[in-house]
Amino acid sequence: MSNSSVMSLHYHKLGRGPNILLAFHGVGQNGESCFLPFAETLGEHYTIYAFDLFFHGKDKNADLDLITKSFWKEIIQNFIDQNSISRFDIAGFSMGGRFALATLEAFAEKIENLFLIAPDGISEHPVYSIACRFHPGRQLFKWSMERPEIFFKAADAFNSIGLLNTSLVRFTKHVLNTPEKRQTVYKSWLAFRQLRFDMKSIHSQVKSHNVRIYLITGKFDKLLTSKSVKPLADLLPENQNIILKSGHTQLVAQAGAWISSLFE
């Protein structure tokens, strides 16, 4: 039975296929804006439930300090109970990779395919660790979000010493160029910090449950480097480590086209 007291997330229902896909978007997006291309290429194979994650889309006013794995498991359990879903696949783009991996950990026995598209959560950037792991860093992060001109100068400095690449700095300035966007990133980074994963444990779990992980990255993606996904890429068969001729922003659309080839 479902627990009606458990928090639920808003979702966009796309496609009309007989198979179920739960999809989790990137930072600054919502479920529909991210995965609408999937409806065009995968809508006959999947019914896609594209969620608005916390602090985004219809759930942007979420009042939460920390998302734990157990809390996330309750949310997804409630959703699949309410919709009578017994088996499903997962897709996660960028930030949504953390939620895809958390769903895999909780429900591996119900999953056949996991599509990780330029995913966050495989390794952790030093800047994220500084901003979120320790109390002084979190205080500095909050202070800098309230003074974006100083934050941007720091980003430029990190770029000059090679800690951040130019494309990442440009992307960071875009996603932080309004007070609302800065609040979204600040809340998300802090609230999602417990969604951490050990890739060897993940790999062992998928092997025991016969789950196929497809790691899909873009050859021209400057935001997600090959180094950041290496802990998982090294564990996967070559035909499940997919590199498309794409940058970051077009990768979901191209990934949808590639995934559709699996079902032809």
pLDDT, tens digit (0-9, with 9 covering 90-100), for 50-98: 999 999 999 887 788 899 999 999 999 999 999 999 999 999 999 999 9
pLDDT in tens, 246-264: 999 899 999 999 999 999 8
- pLDDT number for residue 177: 84
Rounded to an integer, what distance in angstroms lies between the CA atom of residue 197 and that of residue 225?
A: 18
Which structural domain, as residue segments, surrounds residue 118?
11-124+196-262
Please report, for the domain that includes residue 78, its CATH number: 3.40.50.1820
* Residue 94, domain member (yes or no): yes
Could you tell me where the beta strands, DSSP code E, fall in 55-176?
88-93, 111-117
Whether residues 229 and 115 share a domain: the answer is yes
Q: Which of 191, 215, 236 is the last residue of a domain?
A: 191
Helix (H) or strand (E) holding 100: helix 96-107
Whether residues 119 and 143 share a domain: the answer is no
* Residue 186, domain member (yes or no): yes
Whether residues 41 and 80 share a domain: the answer is yes
Count of the separate structural domains present in the chain: 2
Q: Which of 191, 217, 243 is the last residue of a domain?
A: 191
In sequence order, what are the residues at sequence separation of 6 or more whose Cβ sits closer than 8 angstroms to the Cβ of residue 77? 2, 3, 6, 106
* Residue 4, domain member (yes or no): no
Whether residues 216 and 162 share a domain: the answer is no
Helix (H) or strand (E) holding 81: helix 69-82
